[in-house]
Structure 1
């Protein structure tokens, strides 16, 4: 039953392929063969009672009254969250220093990710776990570059390689944008052909949105609710136009200024917003960052990043365990390893 539940959760994330829009793309794959009837039922209805129960469980006994988020609408059928937990590997294929995704050869990296998935399944046996590759497809640069925007857009051939790797383990894909001197309004439409795919989702990194003109890496950047609302509106329109399941949208954060006017963020049925605690350091520092900049400023869902290297640089040289992360209030539903 646990295995079937996990397959069900993964299939909901790519459910459109069973409705006709992407039949050719996913024809003759395990996605089409396993649990077709269950998935077809799920993409036409949403179990709101189960959704409410799972959202309450994620609040994890929070006493502030902020969780679960009361303003959040029910998502469209086919939503991945909160029915599943995402465990993602983050990075760039051209760099061994930007994250674990690019640090190892593909087969070794995928094997390590599958191992982490099993660890999280054991830590929370009630929540199916879906693996994901979180690929930085626009990287901020200290050099202005040819476009003068202090960013470097990855060639589509590299994004295609990430998609191919994800298929090997039935993983989802997140494409992450570090805009530099550019904007999400400029960068996101360039990725539309990927955002139209039901298994591809989005991440943005305010740290590298240099609105005040500083070189990336010199200061911490910022996004406003207006930028975030543009993204959710854009993704929401794609979901409606192409009959897609809801998109997941991850926003990295570890300071207050990185996301301004969070109360003005508009939630939509077509998009599931995850505020991801992106800071590194010792356990208590990370817990504090999560409390003050994620839990105390609620949007919809929460995420938590774990750094294989940076989290153990200083005393106590310890990375938080899955159980310790799950004990946070609220409990993160998106987990990322860098």
Structure 2
């Protein structure tokens, strides 16, 4: 999607089809002859010229109108129709179905992984029967790379076949699907439009990962330093998703934003909320329980945005012994606020 100002020449019928009302007023000038319908050639030519319409301005006006409407509905009913949060707790398996090293999603054979997932979902539902659990798959779809690639952006997008396969897994097992973006040395403005066709599906949501956002750090390879995103990047993402929701008449999208250091998200107070997008600030760090709880307090609880999330690592949280992976009951009893998004890697 281009954000440069574009103009489209539209004739009067075309304007009418957009629902735009306009009137033409004829003013008599000096020396005009009253009582005649004659047009000079230049006047006829002028009236035949198409009207220039700023289509970007029209889209902005439509977005503003939709935003005001969404605000009105949300204030009246609490949430927009179809909103997942806060009426559910999302529990997700994270990774990439083409990689054994990125997380539980992809590490084990498909059916074995889903049997394990069913047990985890049951544990969470039993730990808090007051709120239904919504199962989710969280697939890293644009992945930071160890080499720069032909364009020097240090990231690679999953193939169409891979995205469609993980989407089919989600639908087969009544899950929602998060497509996660690690921009590398690219930007969200450049990468997110690549996912728009998939985000038009009502079960598809989005994650963005500041850890692997290095556009402001020239020459730094992913994993050498922790990256960063600013509130303006989050706001761009919110506006991008809100437009998709409005244009396709979808229920609100959920946006997860990974975080485990203060600098990963700057100017958090400037993040703007929109009822069409539900923002989850997600504590993404691994380690022993005390460290994880401290990180949640420092970077999620004390810098609130909207909803909160918490990640559990099968491989890293339990090392070294006697550390362990926190149980659902521990998470719910020891974290404030209780996270509504839980992710296993």
TM-score range, shorter chain: 0.7 to 0.9
Alpha-carbon offset, residue 46 of structure 1: 7.2
Aligned position for 1:152: 156
Structure 2 residue 217 is matched with structure 1 residue 212: yes
Deviations 1:209-245 (A, max 9, x none): 0121211000000000000000000100111111000
Alignment of 1:1-338 (within 5 A): 74-210=78-214, 211-213=216-218, 214-327=220-333, 328-338=335-345
SS of the counterpart of 2:254? strand
TM-score, normalised on structure 1? 0.78
Q: Distance in 1 between matches of 2:109 and 2:140?
A: 17
Native 8 Å contact 2:74 2:275 kept in 1: no
Native 8 Å contact 1:75 1:246 kept in 2: no
Q: Distance in 2 between matches of 1:300 and 1:314?
A: 34
Q: Distance in 1 between matches of 2:271 and 2:320?
A: 36
TM-score, normalised on structure 2? 0.77
Change (3 A) 1:330 1:109: same
Alpha-carbon offset, residue 315 of structure 1: 3.9
Change (3 A) 1:226 1:48: closer
Alpha-carbon offset, residue 94 of structure 1: 2.0
Number of aligned positions between the proteins? 272
Q: Distance in 2 between matches of 1:47 and 1:121?
A: 27
SS of the counterpart of 1:310? coil
Q: Distance in 1 between matches of 2:203 and 2:124?
A: 21
Alpha-carbon offset, residue 146 of structure 1: 2.0
Aligned position for 1:18: none
Contiguous gaps of at least 5 residues in structure 2? 1-71
Alignment root-mean-square deviation, CA: 1.7
Structure 1: 4+ residue segments shifted above 3 A: 45-49
Q: Distance in 1 between matches of 2:109 and 2:169?
A: 11
Alpha-carbon offset, residue 278 of structure 1: 0.2
Alpha-carbon offset, residue 286 of structure 1: 0.2
Contiguous gaps of at least 5 residues in structure 1? 1-44, 52-73
Alpha-carbon offset, residue 47 of structure 1: 8.8
Alpha-carbon offset, residue 107 of structure 1: 1.2
Bigger Rg, which one: 2
Native 8 Å contact 2:318 2:325 kept in 1: yes
